[in-house]
Homo-oligomer: A and B are copies of this chain.
Amino acid sequence: MTDLTVTGDAPGAPEPSAPRTGEMVRVENVYKSFGSTEVLKGIDMVVRPAEVCCMIGPSGSGKSTLLRCVNHLEKINAGRIWVDGDLVGYRERGGKLHELREKEVAAQRRAIGMVFQRFNLFPHLTAIENVMEAPVRVTRLAKSTAKTEAAALLDRVGLADKLLNYPAQLSGGQQQRVAIARALAMRPKLMLFDEPTSALDPELVGEVLDVMKGLAKDGMTMIVVTHEIGFAREVGDTLVFMDGGVIVESGDPRVVLANPQHQRTKAFLAKVLS
């Protein structure tokens, strides 16, 4: 489980310099602004390997931004993020931070799969080509190997019969499952999901959640932003409730959901569960 260790340091104390072992993600006192609006205001979070961390919170609370910071799609303004022990986006040398070169950032991102709310499949490629693209072009896997692996992955998400369909010929749920397969093709150590089912028709939500449950069972470390409370309760190891750029409350999903400690959490849950 995530423990939101408010590390023992007094306010203003020097930053701890590295994550402990046995942590897949460590987010430490992260701030992020867009222009003059501050979206993340001191986020601390730890995700251990094989853990499923679900994040909920009202619109605009900064959930997506936090996810995007974890794989350096957004640059943070202050704080540190480590994934699997490596500082994300920077190298610390001689007490100074150096931006990583594009190639190095890309290499870091390969270890992190990301699934977007709006799928973002490549519309000009078929399902199997979508899945093969990164292995073939980035890790320079032989085409035939990549093809076999892609077919296996698509089979795993239940799409063995849709290999040659273009995204436009797939339903939303099918597209999202292709997107998951595409992310898995790079054999990530960590998967980020940003409201993976919220753009889907209610009938199609289940099939995507099932695939995610399977992943969790297989021991994938996952951070999942979701409004599917049922999923969080059943699959999540931790539930994090964000509001206004801070983590208001977190803990075992069954505990948090049954007995929220904070007024804001209570109000939000009341709305969502109604």
Q: How large is the interface on A (under 10, 10 to 19, 20 to 34, 35 or more residues)?
A: 10 to 19
Nearest-neighbor residue (CB-CB) of A230 within chain B: B274
Closest to A268 in B: B203
Pick the contact of A203 from B202, B203, B272 — CB < 8 Å?
B272
A206: chain B residues within 8 A (beta carbon): 271, 274
Give the chain B neighbours of A201 by CB distance below 8 A. Answer: 59, 198, 227
CB neighbours (8 Å) of A202 from chain B are 198, 227, 272
A20 to B227, CA, bound (A): 48
Interface of A is mostly: loop
A58 in the interface, Cβ–Cβ < 8 Å?
yes
| Between-chain CB contacts (< 8 Å), 5 pairs | A59-B203, A198-B201, A201-B227, A202-B227, A203-B272
Could you mark each residue 203-231 of chain A with 1 if its beta carbon is under 8 Å from any beta carbon of chain B, else 0? 10010000000000000000000010000
Q: How far is the CB of A253 from chain B (nearest CB, A)?
A: 18
Other A-B contacts than A59-B203, A202-B227, A206-B274, 4 sampled, CB-CB below 8 A, are A58-B203, A201-B227, A202-B272, A206-B271
